[in-house]
Chain A
Amino acid sequence: MSEILLQIDGKEVKATKGMTILEAAQDVGISIPTLCQHDKLEPYGACRICTVEVESRGWTKLVASCLYPVEKDLVVRTRSEKIDKTRKMILQLLLAHAPDSTVLQDLAKEYGADKDRFEKEASFCIHCGLCVRYCAEVRKKNAIGFVDRGTRREISFIPELAARECWNCKECFPLCPTSALQAAFVLVEALISAQPCFAEKANQASSPG
């Protein structure tokens, strides 16, 4: 493996080709916040909280450190006014959906994020995709996925698969950074629709009169 020298927060850091900035930083004990990153999963680059500033070939830009591959002589800053501002905004945007998440609250303290900056739309889910990707990549079951797109995007268990796979697994529950109850709720919803008799009952219960 060829060795690559780069600089992170003024420190000379040795890394190997193919590593990401995040990995190189973690190796030397520099911490970068993450929400959608998980050691067992492929990098995803959705939460953007791990955004850092890099200087490469005369350009300065913001990149997601969980994805950006290390380069020779790359200069990385993991904190700056711009980075902090970005992280603060991302946290405020997410706290509108999951105001009670302790993970988000802890980060909010560090970056001065106001959890009431935006009107609450409690959906709990912050679309980190940990449950979806864990089910696909580790368990290889694909029992949960994303449906729809844009602001309507949400997680959803596939009823037929969930009925078969989820009872004895539920390994995605503890991964959820906001509230395991969210996944549980979505799962129950799916299971109900997978069972014709339940679905009928649910329909009767919800239909007026």
Chain B
Amino acid sequence: MPRINSPEELEKVRQEILSRTEPGKPCISICAGAGCLASGASEVIAAFKAEIDKQGLNGDVDSKGTGCPGFCERGPIVVIYPEEICYLQVTPEDVPEIVSKTIKEKKVVERLLYVDPTTGERATHESDIPFYRNQERNIISSNIKVDPKIIDDYLALGGYSALAKALFRMSSEQVLEEVKKSNLRGRGGGGFPTGRKWEESRNAPGEIKYVIVNADEGDPGAFMDRALLEGNPHSILEGLTIGAYAVGSQEGFIYVRQEYPLAVENVNIAIRQAEDYGFLGKNILGSGFDFNIIVHKGAGAFVCGESSALMTAIEGRAGEPRPKYIHTAVKGVWDRPSVLNNVETWANVPVIVNRGAEWFTQFGTERSKGTKIFSLVGKINNTGLVEVPMGITLRDIIYNIGGGIPGGKKFKAVQTGGPSGGCIPEELLDLQVGFDELTKAGSMMGSGGMIVMDEDTCMVDVARYFLDFLTDESCGKCVPCREGIRQMLKVLTNITRGKGKEGDIELLEELSEVAADASLCALGRSAPNPVLSTIRYFKDEYEAHIREKRCPALSCKELISFYIDPDRCMACMVCFRKCPSEAISGGKNLIHVIEQDKCTKCGTCLEVCPARFSAVRKISGEPVPSRIPEEARIIARESKQK
């Protein structure tokens, strides 16, 4: 492919690509994101290729592995164009039927469609599925249309036209102004205004400046940046290059965690292709602007998502934060002005340049503009990535898009913002999602992790989980963070083990205050959030653990017991046989009893006890009822024959 040397040539190439695709020619898109691959997408892709060949359709139909469209719960996902028929949970065994029925006969395979759990209606198209219908997919919608390894797919969608527009029809000041006008705020955590960050770097003294993609996504349960980088890497490269032009930078970095091998692979392929086409390197599109990108693989540290730690790591040193009394936008990598934005922020840039700040600001609230991608996980029916306009309520996300809580359980809390965020209770479900709103509620937007919890989740244990995570992930440099987290984890662990004492809540608050006030970086300053937000909204759970040695969610192992109700037990032997620690004494016609000293509280007995008996109970905060006398255990049954 020869280099493209002008916007006109770019448009010509795009027309050529489009002309190669015959109108109406079917195309089978199979999600090849990490989630679908884990559920067997590569076998499905291979099966399609083989089946197309077998049925003699080579040349009549295209098939490709694409980026992730977000409905991970129902992967592997297949979308067939031009009709946009959406099949879910497709297996290689389904493939022959899809090819003969849908491709050849233009009929829909009903059983692979989405079925609405309440109405029982089937949805043929992606846009008919409530999960998708209630979203606003400005950024992630391209994922399912492109094979991330093929640049032509991106160009066909108008890829790199924003870069051409910026380089040829806008001055760098105009690009900066447009981004400022859009009020785009950083999607990685703090929500700092992107335009202001760019401006600070642009105005900072120094010839050499850097622009950086933060793809060190490390919040437990969060994977929106992975999906973007993996699924549509060129959109990130385009955004970064536009940013470089606006800031006056000629060198960029993509800091991506090595635990994202597919993202690393796809972004490296994309960089090579972009260089070949002249979207990167010297004299980009013939504009005279030079820009190169280096991929830096992280070595597995959560703290490297923090800007100064990330920059220290790029310099080749241990990824430890350093004080930012002078912003990294002014003194960053090697003390040079460095603009760091996360993947999703960069992905928004080409869209803003192409469609304008005015278009962008129609989405969102007064102070939080545009859309935000969340990874909706935990106790939720529709696990996956959702892109919603800022200002949507948590209730809409969880119920209208997420489909509510599985198993008829009750919603308890939603954790946003990862380990730096907090838990939001049911009474705040109508809270509008925005940077300031979430912070005010004691949580934060963070990068967009959203973990839904139901009534079976113990909130003290949730706080303990996040502090345990941070114990490993703090860099350990400053005292309030390292030692504060150490002591907080000890207190929380004691509480969940029934060893909590009066004063523990106050001690947690005291340690939190010092960590929040005096830590070196944002990791330490926000580390208390999981603790403080759970104390704020679920103090009764803390008190129950401490005072009554009771876990209201019946979750903390050391505070619960399993007990077989002798009035309900029919001595069916099921739990007796299934108990992995042989803790159940019983026999035929002998009411079963759990030997408490042998019980490991795995819960198997509760799970296997037939619903018609429901004899096993989980109890907490009360003594296990004393054993019934041996003679009372014998069940006298009338023989069936008689």
Q: Which residues of A contact B (CB under 8 A)?
A: 45-49, 51, 62-64, 67-69, 82, 85-86, 89-90, 93-94, 96, 118-119, 126-127, 129, 146, 148-153
Tell yes or no: B47 within 8 A of A by CB: no
Q: Are A64 and B479 in contact (CB under 8 A)?
A: no
Contacting residues of chain B (519-574) with chain A, CB-CB under 8 angstroms: 519-520
Q: Are B476 and A150 in contact (CB under 8 A)?
A: yes
Segment from B18-26, B33-41, B467-475 that makes contact with A: B467-475
Q: Which 5 A-B pairs have the closest CB atoms?
A: A153-B476, A93-B483, A150-B474, A89-B514, A67-B323
Q: Are A69 and B510 in contact (CB under 8 A)?
A: no
A45-B323, A67-B323 known; 11 new pairs, CB 8 Å cut-off, are A47-B478, A48-B480, A90-B483, A146-B318, A146-B476, A149-B301, A149-B473, A149-B476, A150-B475, A151-B472, A151-B485
Q: Are B482 and A90 in contact (CB under 8 A)?
A: no
Quick one: which of B303, B323, B479, B518 contacts A94, CB cutoff 8 A? Answer: B479
Q: Are B487 and A118 in contact (CB under 8 A)?
A: yes
Complex Cα distance, B326 from A68, in Å, reads: 9
Question: Can you spell out 9 A-B residue pairs with CB atoms less than 8 angstroms apart?
Answer: A45-B478, A45-B520, A46-B477, A46-B479, A48-B520, A67-B325, A150-B474, A150-B475, A152-B476
Tell yes or no: B12 within 8 A of A by CB: no
Q: Are B323 and A93 in contact (CB under 8 A)?
A: no
Quick one: which of B326, B480, B490 contacts A119, CB cutoff 8 A? Answer: B490
Interface size class of B (residues with CB under 8 A): 20 to 34
Measured CB to CB, the closest approach of chain B to A4, in angstroms, equals: 15
Residues of B within 8 A of A47 (CB): 478-479
Complex Cα distance, B473 from A151, in Å, reads: 9
Q: Are B474 and A149 in contact (CB under 8 A)?
A: yes
Residues of B within 8 A of A94 (CB): 479, 483
Closest to B475 in A: A149
Closest to B473 in A: A150
Residues of B within 8 A of A68 (CB): 323, 325
Residues of B within 8 A of A119 (CB): 490
Tell yes or no: B295 within 8 A of A by CB: no
Beyond A51-B518, A86-B514, A86-B518, whether A127 also contacts B482 by CB under 8 A is: yes
Contacting residues of chain B (466-504) with chain A, CB-CB under 8 angstroms: 470-480, 482-487, 490
Complex Cα distance, B478 from A94, in Å, reads: 11
Q: Are A48 and B478 in contact (CB under 8 A)?
A: yes
Complex Cα distance, B484 from A89, in Å, reads: 9
Tell yes or no: B259 within 8 A of A by CB: no
Measured CB to CB, the closest approach of chain A to B507, in angstroms, equals: 9
Measured CB to CB, the closest approach of chain A to B350, in angstroms, equals: 35
Beyond A48-B518, A48-B520, A86-B518, whether A151 also contacts B478 by CB under 8 A is: no
Quick one: which of B303, B326, B476, B485 contacts A148, CB cutoff 8 A? Answer: B476
Complex Cα distance, B499 from A119, in Å, reads: 14
Complex Cα distance, B486 from A118, in Å, reads: 11
Q: Are B476 and A127 in contact (CB under 8 A)?
A: yes
Q: Are A93 and B484 in contact (CB under 8 A)?
A: yes
Q: Are B511 and A151 in contact (CB under 8 A)?
A: no
Complex Cα distance, B323 from A67, in Å, reads: 7
Q: Are B487 and A46 in contact (CB under 8 A)?
A: no
Q: Which residues of B contact A (CB under 8 A)?
A: 301, 303, 318, 322-323, 325-326, 470-480, 482-487, 490, 510-511, 513-514, 517-520
Q: Are B520 and A46 in contact (CB under 8 A)?
A: yes
Complex Cα distance, B478 from A146, in Å, reads: 13
Measured CB to CB, the closest approach of chain B to A175, in angstroms, equals: 18
Quick one: which of B482, B514, B520 contacts A150, CB cutoff 8 A? Answer: B482
Residues of A within 8 A of B325 (CB): 63, 67-69
Residues of B within 8 A of A46 (CB): 477-479, 520
Quick one: which of A67, A86, A151 contacts B486, CB cutoff 8 A? Answer: A151
Quick one: which of A48, A69, A89 contacts B511, CB cutoff 8 A? Answer: A89
Complex Cα distance, B511 from A151, in Å, reads: 15
Beyond A67-B325, A89-B510, whether A150 also contacts B471 by CB under 8 A is: yes
Q: Are A151 and B517 in contact (CB under 8 A)?
A: no
Complex Cα distance, B172 from A64, in Å, reads: 37
Residues of A within 8 A of B483 (CB): 90, 93-94, 96
Measured CB to CB, the closest approach of chain A to B328, in angstroms, equals: 15
Measured CB to CB, the closest approach of chain A to B301, in angstroms, equals: 7
Measured CB to CB, the closest approach of chain A to B398, in angstroms, equals: 33
Complex Cα distance, B487 from A49, in Å, reads: 18
Q: Are A90 and B479 in contact (CB under 8 A)?
A: yes
Q: Residue among A47, A49, A51, A151 with the most chain B CB within 10 A?
A: A151
Complex Cα distance, B510 from A90, in Å, reads: 11
Closest to A49 in B: B479
Q: Are B518 and A151 in contact (CB under 8 A)?
A: no
Complex Cα distance, B471 from A150, in Å, reads: 5
Beyond A69-B325, A89-B514, whether A127 also contacts B479 by CB under 8 A is: yes
Q: Are A69 and B480 in contact (CB under 8 A)?
A: no
Residues of B within 8 A of A82 (CB): 517
Closest to A126 in B: B479
Q: Are B480 and A90 in contact (CB under 8 A)?
A: yes
Measured CB to CB, the closest approach of chain A to B18, in angstroms, equals: 51
Complex Cα distance, B474 from A53, in Å, reads: 25
Complex Cα distance, B475 from A150, in Å, reads: 5
Complex Cα distance, B483 from A47, in Å, reads: 11
Residues of B within 8 A of A149 (CB): 301, 303, 472-476
Residues of A within 8 A of B318 (CB): 146
Measured CB to CB, the closest approach of chain B to A43, in angstroms, equals: 8
Measured CB to CB, the closest approach of chain A to B334, in angstroms, equals: 16
Measured CB to CB, the closest approach of chain A to B349, in angstroms, equals: 30
Complex Cα distance, B323 from A90, in Å, reads: 18
Residues of A within 8 A of B480 (CB): 48, 86, 89-90, 93
Complex Cα distance, B482 from A126, in Å, reads: 11
Complex Cα distance, B519 from A89, in Å, reads: 12
Closest to A47 in B: B479
Residues of B within 8 A of A126 (CB): 479
Complex Cα distance, B330 from A69, in Å, reads: 15
Q: Are A150 and B472 in contact (CB under 8 A)?
A: yes
Quick one: which of B323, B476, B520 contacts A151, CB cutoff 8 A? Answer: B476
